[in-house]
Amino acid sequence: MRYLPHTHEDIAAMLEVVGVKNLDELFQSLPADCRRQDDLNLPEAMTEWELDNHIHGLADTMATPPAYQVYLGAGSYEHYVPASVSYLLSRSEFVTSYTPYQPEISQGTLQAIFEYQTLTARLLGMEVANASIYDGASALAEAMLMSTRIARRKRIAVSALIHPAYRRVVKTYFEPTGYEVIELPYTDAGQTDLSSLASLDDLAAVAIQSPNFFGCIEDLATIKNTIEDEKTLMVVCFTEALAYGLLKSPGSQGAAIACGEGQSMGLPRSFGGPYLGMFASKMKYVRNMPGRLVGETKDLDGKRGFVLTLATREQHIRREKATSNICTNNSLCALGAAMFMASLGGTGIRQLAQLNHDKAEYLKQKMIAAGFKVPFSNPTFNEFVVGFPENFKKTYDRLIDQKIIAGLPLDTFYPELANHYLMCVTETKNREDLDSLVAEVSS
């Protein structure tokens, strides 16, 4: 096997040094009742070329662009990724290193993550960002746990317009705590309904997604003002980080914690992962933050360098009292996101975000003109909900045969929204695509 360098002679010489006769004897100290009796029943090993073919066979069944026109968003977005980003991200010095515990030989990762933290904090208008959480959903769950520690309260409220999967992950994390999770309903215009807020005491946090699951932009500044209790934190989450190239940042509107999915920043959809949990907060809460942090310092000669810092929050030191159990995070994804953000730059991210908005708006207006309902009147970014006639499922299936996936049916997540579809349009769709989509759904 090409990954195993040992020759028979090597093995013989090493066994002699160890003082056993054969490889099986290395395990003779294991009690007999702990040793596996049968052989591993695994398929015969493939050559590299057989593996190429096998995986290609699996990959070939998948409906992906450019063969398919995919109008799905909902937490995973189709954006162009520069070749330079993919290429740089495959540098094995980044890929094959461990967590940077030995800073003298990990300065590449450390500086890159420091830069990622900085760009993320700037994107979200926050003072500090960590080195990443697994994905948007676990980032939100961690944020809500963090808010209970800061406020020392046992009750949180989450908007019903937060991604349904994220809400479920929050529920999973909160189940054993016994803390209460209250869901805030939504308004006819597609925003979180805060009318019940006044009657809810002792909330550690209110979590709002913007743009929300229906694609609508929430009025965060007004929400912040509506939360009267000073101890209640506003947690802002997101599934489409690119929106903050155009929108006011969560931080500028009073978010105590901003967290969400960074997949849009140059990461492939990859059937749902690995993605990037972006996580940022105000500096005054940093000691309650989960996850790793990289900080700037100097070496013995006074040269600038970077280290993992404030590690006493973390599990390897504080064990059962740690701010989270997270250890391995999604560092390489964070690095990719930093490369992507740097490639766009301040000028580029603005233009790309505007372009996403413009194209989605074009399709939205075309749909309205074609007589379809857009039930939520609130402004949207690059996703919006369309209400189709009752028999639309047939059309949807016909379009699949034509290699068009016309959005995400919403009835599984919101039973009241039968025949409603969440449509996503990014820079990857051109005008002809959008025109022909409208023509097809209308026919």
Partner 1 sequence: MNEPLGTTGLVLNEPLLWEKGQKGRCGYSLPKSDVDASPLDAKFVGEGPDFPDLSEVEIVRHYTRLSTWNFGVDTGMYPLGSCTMKYNPKTNERQAAQHGLALAHPLLPGKLSQGALQLLYELEHLLAEITGMEAVSLQPAAGAHGELAGMLLFYAYHQDHGSPRSKILVPDTAHGTNPASASLCGYKSVGIKSNEQGVLSPETVADHMDTDTAGIMVTNPNTLGLFEDHMKTIADIVHAKGGLVYADGANMNAVMGIVNMLDVGVDVLHLNLHKTFSTPHGGGGPGSGPVCVSKLLEPYLPVPRVVKAENQYRLSEDFPKSFGKLHAFYGNFGVMVKAYSYILSLGADLKKVSQLAVLNANYIKEQLRDVFELAYDRPCMHECVFSDKRQAAHKVTTLDMAKRLIDYGFHPPTIYFPLVVPGAIMIEPTESESKEDLDRFITACRTIVAEAEKSPEDLHAAPTRTRTRRLDETTAARNPCLTG
Partner 2 sequence: MKEIDELNLPEDLKYAEDHEWVRQNGDKVVIGINDYAQDQLGDIVFVELPPVGESFEKGAEFGTVESVKAVSELIMPLSGEILAINTQLEDAPELVNQSPYADGWMIEIKPSDPSELDALLTRDAYLAMLKG
Q: Which residues bind partner 2 (CB under 8 A)?
A: 287, 311-312, 317-318, 321
* CB closer to partner 1 out of 46 and 370: 46
**Count of positions on this chain that bind partner 1 (CB under 8 A):** 206
Q: Is 15 in the site for partner 1 (CB under 8 A)?
A: yes
Is 163 a binding residue for partner 1 by CB under 8 A? The answer is yes
Asked whether position 112 contacts partner 1 by CB under 8 A, the answer is: yes
- Interaction between residue 8 and partner 1 (CB under 8 A): no
Question: CA 261 → CA 68, 70, 165, 387, distances in Å?
Answer: 24, 20, 12, 27
What does the chain come to in residues?
A: 443
Which range binds partner 1 by CB under 8 A, 56-64, 148-156, 187-195, 386-394? Answer: 56-64
- Which residues on adjacent β-strands are paired with residue 319? none
Could you say whether residue 255 binds partner 1 (CB under 8 A)? no
Choose, by CB under 8 A, the member of 225, 325, 377, 442 that binds partner 1: 325
- What one-letter code names the amino acid at 34? C
Please identify which residue in the block is written with the tokens 């009742």: 33
- Tell me which residue of 216, 331, 353 sits closest to 277, measured CA to CA: 331
**Least separation in angstroms between CB 69 and partner 1:** 12
Asked whether the beta carbons of 372 and 386 are under 8 A apart, the reply is yes
**66 prior amide bond cis, ω within 30:** yes
Q: Is 238 in the site for partner 1 (CB under 8 A)?
A: no
Task: Report if residue 244 touches partner 1, rule: CB under 8 A.
Answer: yes
How far apart, in whole angstroms, are the C-alpha atoms of residue 47 and residue 125?
50
149 binds, among partner 2, partner 1, none (CB under 5 to 8 A by kind): none
User: Minimum CB separation from partner 2 for residue 99, in Å?
Assistant: 15
Q: Give yes or no for residue 383 binding partner 1 (CB under 8 A).
A: no
Residue 160 interacting entry, from partner 1, partner 2, none, C-beta within 5 to 8 Å by type: none
Q: How far is the CB of 186 from partner 1 (least distance, A)?
A: 18
Residue 247 as a binder of partner 1 (CB under 8 A): the answer is: yes
Q: How many CA atoms lie within 13 A of 57 on its CB side?
A: 6
Gap between the Cα atoms of 146 and 54, Å rounded: 44
CA–CA separation, 138 vs 165, rounded Å? Answer: 10
**Residue closer to partner 1 (CB basis): 31 or 371:** 31
46 contacts partner 1 (rule: CB under 8 A): yes
Query: Using the rule CB under 8 A, is 411 a contact of partner 1?
Result: no
Is 27 a binding residue for partner 1 by CB under 8 A? The answer is yes
- Find the shortest distance in angstroms from Cβ 296 to partner 1: 4
* Three-state secondary structure call for residue 438: helix
Which residues have C-beta within 8 Å of that of residue 233, sequence separation ≥ 6?
147, 150, 151, 204, 205, 206, 256, 257
In angstroms, rounded to a whole number, what is the distance separating the alpha carbons of residues 199 and 195? 9
Member of 143, 258, 259, 349 binding partner 1 (CB under 8 A): 349
- Cα separation of 228 and 200, whole Å? 11
Answer yes or no whether residue 121 interacts with partner 1 by CB under 8 A. yes
CB 431 within 8 A of CB 360: no
